[in-house]
Amino acid sequence: MTVPILEVIDLHAAYGRIEVLRGVDLAVPKGAVMALLGPNGAGKSTLVKVISGQKAATSGDIHLAGVHVKGAKPDDLARVGLCTIPEGRSVFPNLTVEENLRLMSYAGVPAPAVLDTAFSYFPRLHERRRQLAGTLSGGEQQMLAMSRALASDPALLLLDELSMGLAPLIVDELYDTVARIAESGVSILCIEQFARTALRVSDYAAVMSNGRIVASGEPGEILATMADVILGGAA
């Protein structure tokens, strides 16, 4: 078996004395798209924060591409190939689309290549390249956030609630692009409320509840057996 791109082993984390991650075990195979689903408050965003070095774990282990990374700083994680798009996007509102993209050339990829990749995945960003990012629609901002992430040539893309505040049609469109990004060889872990949409483009799914992974498997199997848990909110 090849080494998973991400392996989380018996991970625990707490806010004060309240334990929120209570022994999370999760493995994302290299090259796969995995959906991480579950009800509000299950601990999904906390897991993203711990994996991406924004919050300390109390115990357990995290391996990224076979490298032990628990406790690593976000910039070290970026060097190992992790790129996170947090909930609520991450663009500079007072810079244009093109300036937002050009900034990513500091990550080591030449600006023309960054722009080419962004505009080939999202032609709409090309039309709006001179517009201030803060005036883009929510969907367009998410496209820009994804383009900035791609500029760092990630091995694993961690997407936290790509759909936040967006219309279902736009969410569908974004997930079509997630599938194309995956085809280019990037592994993806997506945390998502729109379970059906995420499952449509996923190879695997895991369900989190009360700080633990309570089911994992193929999307069809998860939809059939865990519908009551994962379709509780938006479907």
Told to check if 20 binds ligand ATP by CB under 6 A, we report: yes
- CA atoms of 141 and 23, how far apart (whole Å): 34
Which residue of 44, 63, 70, 128 would you call a contact of ligand ATP, by CB under 6 A? 44
Which residue of 26, 28, 35, 46 would you call a contact of ligand ATP, by CB under 6 A? 46
Which residue of 4, 8, 33, 43 would you call a contact of ligand ATP, by CB under 6 A? 43
DSSP 72: -
- CA atoms of 36 and 162, how far apart (whole Å): 12
Q: Which among 144, 126, 124 is positioned nearest to 134, based on CA atoms?
A: 144
Q: How far is the CB of 235 from ligand ATP (least distance, A)?
A: 14
Q: How far is the CB of 36 from ligand ATP (least distance, A)?
A: 9
Which residue of 5, 24, 26, 42 would you call a contact of ligand ATP, by CB under 6 A? 42
Spatial contact of 91 and 104, defined as CB atoms under 8 Å apart: no
Say how far residue 11 (Cα) sits from the centre of its chain.
19
Q: Which among 27, 25, 1, 31 is positioned nearest to 188, based on CA atoms?
A: 31
Q: How far is the CB of 20 from ligand ATP (least distance, A)?
A: 4
Told to check if 41 binds ligand ATP by CB under 6 A, we report: yes
Told to check if 162 binds ligand ATP by CB under 6 A, we report: no
The amino acid at 132: L
Piece in contact with ligand ATP (CB under 6 A), picked from 35-43, 69-77, 136-144, 224-232 = 35-43
Piece in contact with ligand ATP (CB under 6 A), picked from 42-50, 63-71, 103-111, 172-180 = 42-50
Piece in contact with ligand ATP (CB under 6 A), picked from 40-48, 70-78, 111-119, 128-136 = 40-48
- CA atoms of 49 and 54, how far apart (whole Å): 5
Told to check if 187 binds ligand ATP by CB under 6 A, we report: no
Q: How far is the CB of 44 from ligand ATP (least distance, A)?
A: 4
Told to check if 134 binds ligand ATP by CB under 6 A, we report: no
User: Which residues would be at the binding site for ligand ATP (CB under 6 A)?
Assistant: 15, 20, 38, 40-46
